[in-house]
Amino acid sequence: MVYITEDLIRRRSEHNECQIFSLEEVSLHQQDIERIEYIDRWCRDLKILYLQNNLIPRIENVGRLKKLEYLNLALNNIEVIENLEGCESLRKLDLTVNFVARLSSVETLKDNVHLRELFLVGNPCTQFEGYREFVLALLPQLKSLDGTDITKSERIRSSQRLEEVRRRVQEQEEEYVKRAEEKEAAQRKETGEETGSQEREGVLCSPTLEKKQKMVETTESDEERQEKEFWNTPCPFTPQSRLEAHHHLEEKRRAKEKNNKKKAKPPRTLITADGRVLNVNEPKLDFSLTEDDNNNRILLNLPVYRHMDTSLMDVDVQPTYVRVTIKGKIFQLLLPAEVKPDSSTAQRSQATGHLLLTMPRAQGEIKVTKTDRRSFLKDHRYRNSLDDKKREQNVPERLEVDSSKAMDFANIVPHHKATEGPLEASPWSQTAVPCCDVPSEDFVDNPGVPPLI
């Protein structure tokens, strides 16, 4: 049995931000509800209430809904129209395919002065002679009955013949109730006789072990036979038969769910007892793992589904492995080097939906910038020569200039006599240069050329 709960109404009021005190419309159809309750206390401002296709046997607990304009109770087990006097604003009432046999109960709707539409199609009372005339005479405020508009002439004729039609309707109601009771008694008698014969057969001829084994073997065939008998056996269309069919289907569904219930799978081993991380690819994705040496990082590209919501993914980056959960399925991969989880980032492409994980390495290689070899050698030799001089002289070398003497900047290098001495190696090149400033034999002095300094 399904009850109307606060949680059920809140789940059905998403359009109102799950607030039920100010709710104006709620749909509770196809919930197997067997009783109307609590709605008149929790939802006082209701204007539209859908309760079709349930198992409700009685109209109750709706009298406090003063603003209710539309009530749908089609495909239920209602037999009497009642308890709607308090619904002052009711304009439309739908009781299609119920079990209303007491047509005289329509008279309880005369206080609902705003009622304009009434649906009673599929009820036993619609088969009574004078059904439409009786309803039009009792409810002059109606504009439409069973989807058909009411004309003025039809309303006048029905009001003139009200007493005659009322007497005829009462007689048909009594006959209907009498026939229903006879059918129910006959059905009970048949059921009792079948049960008694089965018990007598069981007492007189108790089955042996062999027969019991045969009965166990034929259990499935017996269940199929009983199922066919249940649906093929004729029975009166009553609220009880409809409720019995519903319970039968519910029991069958539960038994099927119990039989088809899968055994809980043991948790998958992701890390062994000795701490070894396993590679797992439950979603079966074609991934690519690349190492970016220039930027000292590792890139993992996962081609997940393009239209999958990102909230269904969970990324967990550890120093030695990465784990991505996609709709409950785990993708785990051991990394080739240790990474920094705090500095890692996860990005998703808006075009393809691919997931890209960027993980910088924890201890990267030291990158040396390349320099010119010639300049490096010159700088190195120059520094070595300075160091050698400093080691030879204990006193630091200073540059002293005598202000009394005039300095000839054009001849800073003194002239020496030409001597045939050995060549001295220059610290700036690998070629030998003469140590004295003597022009060679092929040297031609051109006075038009300015000095180098």
- Report, as an integer, the average pLDDT of 390-418: 56
**Is residue 298 within 8 Å of 340, Cβ to Cβ?**
no
What does the pLDDT read at residue 369? 47
What does the pLDDT read at residue 208? 44
* Domains of the chain with bracketed CATH: 6-173 (3.80.10.10), 280-360 (2.60.40.790)
What does the pLDDT read at residue 105? 92
Q: What is the residue whose two structure tokens read 């007497």?
A: 167
The answer to which of 50-59, 151-160, 227-236, 264-273 has the lowest mean pLDDT is: 227-236
Phi-psi region of 256 (alpha: psi -120 to 50; beta: other; left: phi over 0): alpha
- Quickly state the pLDDT bin for 85 (edges 50, 70, 90): very high
**Is residue 78 within 8 Å of 100, Cβ to Cβ?**
yes
pTM above 0.95, yes or no: no
pLDDT at 100 over 70: yes
Tell me the three state secondary structure of residue 48: strand
- 279 or 207, higher pLDDT: 279
- 306 or 105, higher pLDDT: 105
- Report, as an integer, the average pLDDT of 269-276: 87
**Is residue 143 within 8 Å of 182, Cβ to Cβ?**
no
Cα angle, residue 187 at apex, residues 172 and 254 outer, rounded to 5°: 110
What does the pLDDT read at residue 265? 66
- Quickly state the pLDDT bin for 61 (edges 50, 70, 90): very high
The overall average pLDDT reported for the chain is 79
If residue 382 lies in a helix (H) or strand (E), which one and from where to where?
A: helix 373-392
Please tell me the distance from the alpha carbon of residue 106 to that of residue 100, in angstroms, as a whole number.
10
DSSP string, 180-200: HHHHHHHHHHHHHHHHHHHHH
Contacts 24+ apart (CB under 8 A), 407-413: 409/453, 410/451, 410/453, 412/453, 413/437
Both tokens of residue 272? 């062994």
Half-sphere exposure of 317 (CA within 13 A, CB side): 20
Distance of alpha carbon 346 from the chain centroid: 21
Both tokens of residue 347? 């990005």
